[in-house]
């Protein structure tokens, strides 16, 4: 009998839950993480980048960890803490921290577009575990990388080489952390979220001290609100949804938010923050998404 079926062939309880939770988790990633680029931009009006990210994940991680322990969930083992800290450093310390740093000089929409190349790097890192890209996937990788080059040469990012380097590094770190963590002993469910946020916040505190960032004297109400939104919605809700998807669906679907976020971020940036997008940026976005689409369609057919 199929392990996903009950005694009479009906879907099991986890299967029924997944049919509801997977679409909800994807929707959370598409909309919430698409909006966090603008929230980061607003928070940066008062907060320095690494301190802002450190506070976001430290507070969110501590609150979630305390709540889970109060509800009786077991603490992570030593090995799980180590794995969660390494993953949190890659995903949150480098992945998110460098995005915050880059948005000091790059618009929120372009930051989302640059990070859209993350699934391309994830495809390469998958090869380290024996899942090398097929021929058409290699074509997609080349096309997507070409889009990243066009974006870096375009008018929107050409004046910020450090921002371009930071965003590319962030995408690489996030992709590797996502692939690496799937094969490690990680804490269960929401405890994984809390442990990774606490581990990632340590790396961000170190970056804060190393760069000499200071607590702002008078953050604006908008900056406080943006920081709270990032901690609650961007961290606790959306990051939990992402880790759930990584353990429930194929990585390609879990990381599909990377090429849905850019249109959301660009639209919000233009409507709310008055950010401008140049024609060259739109062309680069189309090239990046075309490369990712080649990989997505190919692997979807292979999966079927």
Q: What percent of the chain has pLDDT over 70?
A: 82
Residue 1: pLDDT above 50? Answer: no
Q: What is the number of other CB atoms lying within 10 angstroms of the CB of residue 76?
A: 23
**Of residues 5 and 158, which shows the higher confidence score?**
158
Distance set, CA 298 to CA 14, 28, 99, 105, 135 (Å): 28, 25, 29, 36, 10
β-pair partners for 5:
11
Domain residue ranges in the chain: 15-303
Q: Quick one: pLDDT band at residue 16, thresholds 50, 70, 90?
A: low
- Nearest alpha carbon to residue 255 among 266, 236, 238, 242: 242
**Rounded CA gap, 117 and 256, in Å?**
11
Predicted local confidence at residue 9, as pLDDT: 46
| Rounded mean pLDDT, 49-67 | 95
- Nearest alpha carbon to residue 116 among 164, 171, 180: 171
Contacts of 208 by beta carbon, 8 Å cutoff, 6+ apart: 48, 50, 51, 54
| Rounded mean pLDDT, 31-49 | 92
Residue 293: pLDDT above 50? Answer: yes
| Rounded mean pLDDT, 89-112 | 89
Contact 227, 181 (CB under 8 A): no
pTM of the predicted model as reported, rounded to 2 decimal places: 0.78
| Rounded mean pLDDT, 77-105 | 95
**Of residues 113 and 83, which shows the higher confidence score?**
83
Q: Which of 21-30, 130-139, 157-166 has the highest mean pLDDT?
A: 21-30
Predicted local confidence at residue 14, as pLDDT: 53
């Amino acid at each position: 009998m199929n392990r996903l079926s009950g005694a009479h062939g009906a879907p099991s309880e986890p299967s029924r839950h997944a049919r509801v939770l997977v679409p909800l988790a994807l929707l959370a990633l598409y909309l919430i993480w698409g909006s966090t680029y603008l929230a980061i931009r607003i928070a940066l009006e008062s907060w320095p980048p690494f301190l802002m990210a450190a506070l976001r994940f430290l507070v969110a991680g501590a609150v979630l960890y305390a709540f889970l322990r109060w509800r009786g969930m077991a603490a992570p083992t030593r090995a799980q803490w180590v794995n969660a800290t390494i993953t949190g450093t890659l995903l949150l310390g480098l992945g998110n921290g460098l995005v915050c740093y880059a948005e000091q000089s790059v618009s929120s929409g372009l930051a989302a577009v640059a990070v859209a190349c993350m699934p391309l790097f994830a495809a390469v890192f998958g090869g380290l575990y024996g899942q090398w890209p097929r021929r058409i996937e290699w074509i997609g990788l080349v096309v997507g990388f070409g889009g990243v080059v066009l974006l870096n040469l375009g008018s929107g990012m050409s004046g910020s080489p450090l921002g371009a380097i930071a965003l590319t590094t962030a995408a690489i770190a996030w992709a590797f952390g996502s692939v690496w963590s799937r094969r490690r002993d990680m804490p269960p469910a929401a405890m994984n979220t809390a442990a990774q946020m606490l581990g990632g916040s340590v790396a961000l505190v170190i970056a804060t001290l190393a760069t000499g960032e200071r607590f702002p004297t008078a953050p604006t109400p908008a900056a406080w609100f943006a920081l709270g939104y990032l901690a609650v919605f961007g961290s606790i809700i959306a990051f939990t949804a992402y880790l759930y998807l990584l353990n429930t669906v194929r990585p390609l679907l879990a990381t599909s938010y990377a090429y849905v976020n850019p249109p959301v971020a660009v639209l919000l940036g233009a409507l709310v923050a008055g950010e401008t997008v140049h024609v060259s940026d739109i062309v680069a976005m189309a090239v990046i998404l075309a490369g990712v689409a080649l990989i997505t369609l190919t692997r979807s057919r292979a999966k079927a």
